[in-house]
């Protein structure tokens, strides 16, 4: 590592997130990222990597899309009004109209924000205001953000528990369980049922056939608003412009973020009908009950419009569907019979490879080793710590990916929608070669233990 980039590493460790910096060094995952273009990332040593993570689904257009950058430059050159909530601005009016057209009826109103968590919060607020109910229903395994409100409907105990008590009136039920949903909604106390069409961070979990259609019917019957969190599934990721289009049903509220800003500008949006918005905010004492200082700023609006236009013009949703089907076929052919591969699933370019069969005991052994040799890290590392190993091996082979946030035994493949087929083929080949080294959980544990020992001698430096 060069001296300037060593300084970056040290500044990050000291001033950004010291614990995360240590964890990056445990298995040797740490890199200083300096440049990105298309589906390629470059580290400080000049090593190039194929990006199979896409900023957790933010880079659907790829990194630094030239036409997106030109749209942003043009927006800046126009000397727009950047922050002014005392009247209408052309960019916010334009992006709201563009979003309504993209989503289709009944969506007419777009409440803009800057993040996915903020957009989910906006949906919860509107649902409570419109229904005059307080309860919010969500699913085990759901990931909706890390603010206090969204943590309240979070499906991961590890992330939620340190901050409890959170917002009262929330309830979680198993994802895909129609009977549990019906029982909860029958109480008629929930303002909203917030659900992801595909649970990305739970391990790319697809809903059972008919589940979301049943949710639509039950929510309508019991006066609960159906909220689709498409922060990670929207903007072409799953093979349709929005995942709800594939389900042939329409939610009451649609939440978007991540890829909406082209991976360059933070943008979130909460879409609803004009009638629903009127019910929540259509009075003089409520018209300004929701807002955000930088929501609807000109750069965010320009990024969102350009992103939607490019996804449509280049047919990226259809391309995602085709490439995703091909990726699953190739993965199934190459590694489907491997003793540690339990499942390969997904839709579009959101694919999960679940590994298991004996790994639970290996995880336990690895956790014990970590507790003995690095007790401080052992307390900090979320189990199963061993799940990161395959991502480390892929990184060393030139491919950036990560396990799902709630399911560290599922390797999530979520590349830019612009990625070349040859790059995906190379990723499949790399993963197949890596798995050939591990025909059993014991082999995984052996290498993880050896790597931890060698990194520990170096003080977990990277």
Range of the domain at 450: 3-64+315-457
What pLDDT, on the 0 to 100 scale, is given for residue 86? 87
For residue 354, the SS3 value is: strand
Q: Is the pLDDT of residue 4 over 80?
A: no
For residue 356, the SS3 value is: coil
Nearest to 60 by CA among 301, 309, 253, 272: 309
pLDDT in tens, 256-274: 999 999 999 999 999 999 9
pLDDT in tens, 66-124: 999 999 999 999 999 999 888 899 999 999 999 999 999 999 999 999 999 999 999 99
Can you tell me the distance from the alpha carbon of 433 to that of 414, in angstroms, rounded to the nearest whole number? 20
Q: Is the pLDDT of residue 404 over 90?
A: yes
User: Does residue 236 share a domain with residue 104?
Assistant: yes
Domain membership of residue 462 (yes or no) is no
User: Does residue 141 share a domain with residue 225?
Assistant: yes
User: Does residue 252 share a domain with residue 120?
Assistant: yes
Domain final residue pick, 251, 284, 313: 313
What pLDDT, on the 0 to 100 scale, is given for residue 461? 82
Domain final residue pick, 280, 313, 346: 313
User: Does residue 165 share a domain with residue 247?
Assistant: yes
User: Does residue 277 share a domain with residue 319?
Assistant: no
Q: How does DSSP assign 217-272, residue by residue?
A: HHHHHHTPEEEEE-TTTTTTTTSSSSHHHHHT---SEEEE-GGGGTTTS--EEEEE
Q: Which residues pair with 399 in a beta bridge?
A: 50
User: Does residue 90 share a domain with residue 217?
Assistant: yes
Q: What is the CATH number of the domain that holds 21?
A: 3.90.1150.10
pLDDT band at 380 (very low <50, low <70, confident <90, very high): very low
pLDDT band at 231 (very low <50, low <70, confident <90, very high): very high
User: Does residue 300 share a domain with residue 180?
Assistant: yes
CA dihedral 273, 279, 285, 286 (to 10 degrees): -50
User: Does residue 118 share a domain with residue 198?
Assistant: yes
pLDDT in tens, 196-222: 999 999 999 999 999 999 999 999 999
Task: Give the mean model confidence (pLDDT) for residues 285-306.
Answer: 94
Domain membership of residue 95 (yes or no) is yes
Q: Is the pLDDT of residue 8 over 70?
A: yes
User: Does residue 177 share a domain with residue 77?
Assistant: yes
pTM of the predicted protein model: 0.93
Domain final residue pick, 257, 288, 313: 313
User: Does residue 414 share a domain with residue 304?
Assistant: no
Domain membership of residue 99 (yes or no) is yes
Task: Give the mean model confidence (pLDDT) for residues 141-146.
Answer: 96
pLDDT in tens, 240-251: 999 999 999 999
The more confidently predicted of residues 357 and 208 is: 208
Dihedral over Cα of 388, 390, 391, 396: its sign = positive
pLDDT band at 372 (very low <50, low <70, confident <90, very high): low
pLDDT in tens, 37-47: 999 999 999 99
User: Does residue 117 share a domain with residue 79?
Assistant: yes
Cβ atoms 199, 208 nearer than 8 A? no
User: Does residue 337 share a domain with residue 249?
Assistant: no
């Amino acid at each position: 590592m060069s001296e300037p980039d060593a300084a970056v590493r040290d500044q990050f460790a000291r001033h950004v997130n010291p614990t995360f910096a240590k964890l990056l060094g445990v298995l040797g995952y740490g890199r200083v990222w300096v440049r990105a273009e298309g589906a390629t990332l470059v580290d400080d040593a000049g090593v190039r990597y194929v990006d199979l993570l896409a900023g957790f689904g933010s880079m659907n257009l790829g990194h630094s899309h030239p036409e997106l950058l030109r749209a942003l430059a043009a927006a800046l050159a126009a000397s727009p009004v950047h922050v002014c909530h005392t009247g209408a601005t052309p960019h916010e009016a334009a992006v709201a109209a563009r979003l309504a057209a993209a989503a289709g009826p009944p969506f007419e109103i777009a409440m803009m924000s800057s993040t996915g968590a903020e957009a989910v919060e906006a949906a919860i607020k509107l649902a409570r205001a419109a229904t005059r109910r307080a309860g919010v229903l969500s699913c085990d395994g759901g990931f909706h953000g890390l603010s206090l409100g969204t943590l309240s409907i979070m499906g991961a105990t590890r992330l939620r528990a340190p901050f409890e008590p959170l917002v009262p009136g929330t309830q979680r039920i198993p994802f895909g369980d129609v009977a549990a949903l019906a029982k909860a909604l029958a109480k008629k106390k929930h303002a909203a049922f917030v659900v992801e069409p595909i649970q990305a961070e739970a391990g790319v979990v697809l809903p059972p056939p008919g589940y979301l259609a049943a949710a639509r019917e039950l929510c309508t019957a019991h006066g609960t608003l159906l909220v689709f969190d498409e922060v990670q599934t929207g903007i072409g990721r799953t093979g349709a412009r929005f995942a709800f289009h594939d389900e042939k049903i329409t939610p009451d509220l649609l939440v978007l973020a991540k890829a909406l800003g082209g991976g360059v500008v933070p943008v979130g949006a909460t879409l609803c009908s004009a009638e629903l918005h009127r019910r929540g905010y259509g009075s003089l004492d409520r018209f300004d009950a929701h807002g955000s200082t930088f929501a609807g700023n000109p750069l965010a609006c320009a990024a969102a419009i350009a992103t939607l236009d490019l996804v449509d013009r280049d047919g990226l949703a259809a391309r995602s569907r085709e490439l995703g089907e091909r990726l699953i076929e190739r993965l199934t052919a190459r590694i489907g019979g491997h003793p540690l591969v339990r499942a390969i699933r997904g839709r579009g370019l959101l694919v999960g490879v679940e590994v298991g069969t004996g790994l639970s005991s290996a995880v336990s052994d690895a956790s014990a080793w970590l507790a003995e040799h690095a007790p401080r890290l052992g307390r900090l590392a979320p189990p199963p710590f061993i799940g990161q190993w395959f991502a480390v091996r892929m990184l060393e082979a030139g491919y950036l990916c990560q396990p799902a946030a709630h399911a560290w035994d599922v390797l999530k493949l979520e590349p830019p929608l612009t990625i070349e087929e040859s790059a995906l083929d190379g990723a499949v080949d790399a993963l197949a070669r890596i798995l050939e080294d591990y025909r059993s959980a014991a082999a995984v544990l052996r290498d993880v233990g050896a790597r931890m020992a060698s990194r520990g001698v170096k003080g977990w430096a990277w």
